């Protein structure tokens, strides 16, 4: 199998062939390897709204945030093409609706420029939710770390109390 065979499988919307390429033990294929135009397999699959392939590539570790030379990620490409279903899939898998390309353009603006109003609306709503989700995730992480520190401190306190009891018992038995 080769990168060309793999790319042909993506372009031809042949999921079975793609699965064979990516599981071939004789030939390693990096799922994130861009081509000469700096497009990844995920970008091509997203461009043509091959959602089954997009999902498979993401499951295989495709970088949802990879960008090509112009700074466009898969989410920009989908927004420009107007693929609502693929856009929702990418967003559900963690694509950043607030990512700007090299000219500072948001995916929502690309959608609007192409007349894809539904995509623009979805992206704008996702952008406001995205910041809230990121903030909530950061708060949850901070809380989990704090809880872990408290649990570790409690465990250490219990360990010290046990050692102190054992020392007192040894002292008592020596008397």
Instruction: Specify the CATH superfamily of domain 3-134.
Output: Ankyrin repeat-containing domain (1.25.40.20)
Give, to the nearest 10 degrees, the angle between helix 3-11 and helix 15-23: 160
| Whole-prediction pTM | 0.71
Q: Judge contact between 83 and 49, C-beta under 8 A.
A: yes
Q: Judge contact between 83 and 46, C-beta under 8 A.
A: yes
Q: How far is the C-alpha of 119 from the C-alpha of 112, rounded, in Å?
A: 8
pLDDT of 1 above 60: no
Residue count of the chain: 175
* Residue-range domain boundaries for the chain: 3-134
Copy the structure tokens of residue 141: 């992480």
Copy the structure tokens of residue 12: 């031809």
User: What per-residue confidence (pLDDT) applies to 2?
Assistant: 57
pLDDT in tens, 85-118: 999 999 999 999 999 999 999 999 999 999 999 9
User: Is the Cα torsion angle 14, 32, 92, 101 positive or negative in sign?
Assistant: negative
């Amino acid at each position: 199998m080769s990168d060309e065979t793999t790319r042909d499988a993506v372009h031809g919307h042949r999921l079975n062939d793609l699965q064979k390429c990516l599981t071939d033990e004789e030939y390693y294929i990096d799922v994130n390897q861009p081509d000469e135009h700096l497009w990844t397999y995920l970008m091509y699959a997203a461009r043509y709204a091959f959602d089954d392939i997009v999902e498979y590539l993401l499951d295989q570790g495709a970088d949802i945030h990879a960008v090509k030379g112009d700074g466009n990620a898969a989410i920009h490409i989908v927004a420009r093409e107007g693929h609502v279903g693929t856009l929702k899939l990418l967003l559900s898998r963690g694509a950043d609706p607030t990512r700007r390309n090299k000219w500072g353009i948001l995916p929502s603006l690309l959608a609007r420029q192409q007349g894809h109003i539904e995509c623009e609306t979805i992206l704008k709503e996702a952008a406001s939710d995205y910041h809230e989700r990121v903030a909530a995730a950061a708060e949850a992480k901070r809380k989990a770390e704090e809880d872990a520190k408290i649990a570790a401190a409690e465990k250490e306190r219990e360990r010290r109390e046990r050692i102190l009891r054992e020392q007192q018992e040894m002292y008592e038995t020596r008397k």
